[in-house]
Structure 1
Amino acid sequence: MAGMRAEQRAATRRALLAEGRRRFAVDGYHDVVLAEVAQAAGVTKGAAYHHFESKAGLFRAVVAEVQRELGERVAEAAGRYVDPWEQLRAGCRAFLAAGRDPVVRRVVLTDAPAVLGWDEWRAMDEDSSARHLTEALDALVRAGVIEDQPVEPLARLLSGAMNEAALWLARSEDPGAPGGAERALDRLLSGLRTRND
């Protein structure tokens, strides 16, 4: 009996997250009404408040879910390569490509910093995809592929550049924009390599 209730609670939470995700991506945070999300998910408004406390709580959970998936996408792309340099390039390219995903664009790149605030958004980003970047750069510095330097400022600079490029790609109607962004990224990354590499 307790197992069935836990399963039902989990199903309710998943339904609210799925509907919230869809609506936040299409309508944007400010135009979403929690009661309408609950109704569309087939649950009561009380259930929505029980699971998430507020629209902001639901949004925070959706952002965390999308960022986790984005981190997994980046890690999966990097994991296709053995060479650490190619892992870095593939992970960065996967992050840029994710900017074309309407959910990532609207929820993570556009609304999350404004709704959650910069500090909370950065902390969530750090827990998902940003830590992969830091780990990759640290491995490359230790291997001598990248000049010896503090990794944290380098990771933040590169992360900021990629977030900005992903936003630009998301808004661009130029069909050549993704290729141009990848070439620019490759030039930026190649500038990090040691001269004797």
Structure 2
Amino acid sequence: MQEKIRKRSPRPQADRRAATQTALLTAARALFADHGYAATGTPDIVAAAGVTRGALYHHFADKIDLFRAVIEAEHAALAAAIADATVAPVDAIASLIDGGAAYLAAMNAPGRRRLLLVEAPAVLGQAEARAMDARYARASLADGVRVAQAAGALPALPEAVLTDLLDALFDRAAEAELDAQEKYLAVIQALLQGLARGLS
């Protein structure tokens, strides 16, 4: 009786590509967060990722394209954290505060404040950095403001202006030291509640 020799099928090319891309993003994120964009070279990234320079340029056009992908992933993680925190809000104002608290907690992930608040505007420019934020955390905030206004929990002020002001307040809170962030959140909550009381 002949023994059947099982041949392992080669790992699908798509899986290899995904693994390489993940390795590059993980390595680049750590280096950009620790040393900044300017002080991080592509040789550092490929060495940390354990891939070739050719692999980097197969997946990303250049270093700034890789940086952009890192920042996009950080924004996506922020938006996911906010969505998880506001899945079953008690009321519209509570939802905004819960979302803000989740935003601050997620921003405290190692390196994230530097990446999003310092490196992204400096490297991509204010316009692109804001446009990217507008697709993620700011979009969640805008939805919360819209829901609160529709429910009559916030006055019918210009939605975009109110969202911009709240966005700036939450970003300022994110820049603060950890032990001061709760104070910022309490003040933002008081401001929102004051706006709500103005309706009664």
TM-score higher than 0.5 here? yes
Matched, 1:15 2:23: yes
Matched, 1:40 2:48: yes
Q: CA RMSD in A?
A: 1.8
Runs of 4+ in structure 1 over 4 Å off: none
Shift in alpha-carbon separation, 1:158–1:54, aligned structure 2, 3 A: same
* 1:73-115 alpha-carbon deviations (Å, 9 max, x no partner): 1111122424222111100122223333232211111110111
Within 5 Å, give how 1:1-197 maps onto structure 2: 4-167=12-175, 169=176, 172=177, 176-196=179-199
Shift in alpha-carbon separation, 1:2–1:130, aligned structure 2, 3 A: farther
Per the normalisation by structure 2, the TM-score is 0.89
> What is the Cα deviation at residue 144 of structure 1?
0.8
* 1:97-135 alpha-carbon deviations (Å, 9 max, x no partner): 333323221111111011101111111101111111101
Q: In percent, how many aligned pairs have the same letter?
A: 36
> What is the Cα deviation at residue 37 of structure 1?
0.7
Uncovered stretches (5+) of structure 2, i.e. residues with no partner:
1-8
Which amino acid is 1:7 matched to?
D
Shift in alpha-carbon separation, 1:146–1:194, aligned structure 2, 3 A: farther
2:78–2:107 CA contact under 8 A, matched in 1: no
> What is the Cα deviation at residue 163 of structure 1?
1.1
Per the normalisation by structure 1, the TM-score is 0.90
The structure whose Rg is larger is: 2
Give aligned pairs, total: 192
Cα separation, 1, equivalents of 2:139 and 2:106? 17
Uncovered stretches (5+) of structure 1, i.e. residues with no partner:
none
